[in-house]
Amino acid sequence: MRVDGLLFDKDGTLFDFGATWNTWAARMIPEMAEGDSDLAERIAQELDYDLARQTFLPHSAIIAGTNRDAAEAVARAMPHREVAELETTLMHAASTAPLMEAVPLAPFLDGLSQHGLRLGVMTNDTEFAARAHLGSVGVDGHFDLILGFDSGFGAKPDPGPLLAFSDRFGLAPERVAMVGDSTHDLIAGHRAGMQTIAVLTGMATEAELAPYADVVFPNIGHIPGWLAT
């Protein structure tokens, strides 16, 4: 096997970003604005979200950012709300997002586990939302470690949370692959000394990801074949 462990990003990697988060934001923004269309437009602008097309713009910091980043963006449109309060509101709202699995996750993860690989998730979302999302599709128990930006090891592109995964299980970083859909994921992987796998189920293009990736796949379903070669 090429690796002893696989560390996955969540949004855009395990779950298709557009089908999940574009749909969620189209519902969340008007709800947060309480019917005020002008306020909804201001929130959308701060999040770099196109309300008419119902899609995050490719340069949106929310795509690879943390829940704190999202709360700070919304707070710029709603200065009467505290960032900490918005963080909590967004965390709970995100935990109910309509998830679209990039591939059927349970059989995919079962196959990886049969090879004795350590499996983890490191997301710039909250650990609360990560566990809620993975649990809602019945795969939280497939992972040896689930980390969010608030789990105490930092956020990507910092390598700290990636190294926390390899350290926890005594894995050499070069024998771990970081799997993600953004340059944040891949840069963090390089900084940690890990192999890097890019997938195209997020908002970034192959041209954007390829310079930072050892390999680029349409989705995570191609990983088992790569592992065996």
| Structural domain range at position 176 | 5-16+101-228
Asked which of 94, 126, 151 is the last residue of a domain, the reply is 94
Indicate if 221 and 136 belong to the same structural domain: yes
Indicate if 117 and 134 belong to the same structural domain: yes
State the pLDDT at residue 162. 98
Indicate if 63 and 147 belong to the same structural domain: no
Average pLDDT along the chain: 96
Indicate if 205 and 183 belong to the same structural domain: yes
pLDDT per position as a tens digit, 76-102: 999 999 999 999 999 999 988 999 999
pLDDT per position as a tens digit, 145-194: 999 999 999 999 999 999 999 999 999 999 999 999 999 999 999 999 99
Q: What is the pTM of this model?
A: 0.91
Number of domains, the chain = 2
pLDDT per position as a tens digit, 9-28: 999 999 999 999 999 999 99
Look up the CATH number of the domain holding residue 142.
3.40.50.1000
DSSP 101: B
Indicate if 114 and 221 belong to the same structural domain: yes
pLDDT per position as a tens digit, 115-131: 999 999 999 999 999 99
Indicate if 23 and 90 belong to the same structural domain: yes
Indicate if 107 and 209 belong to the same structural domain: yes
pLDDT band at 1; cut points 50, 70, 90? confident
Contacts 24+ apart (CB under 8 A), 67-73: 67/91, 67/94, 67/124, 67/125, 67/126, 67/129, 67/149, 67/150, 68/149, 73/46, 73/47
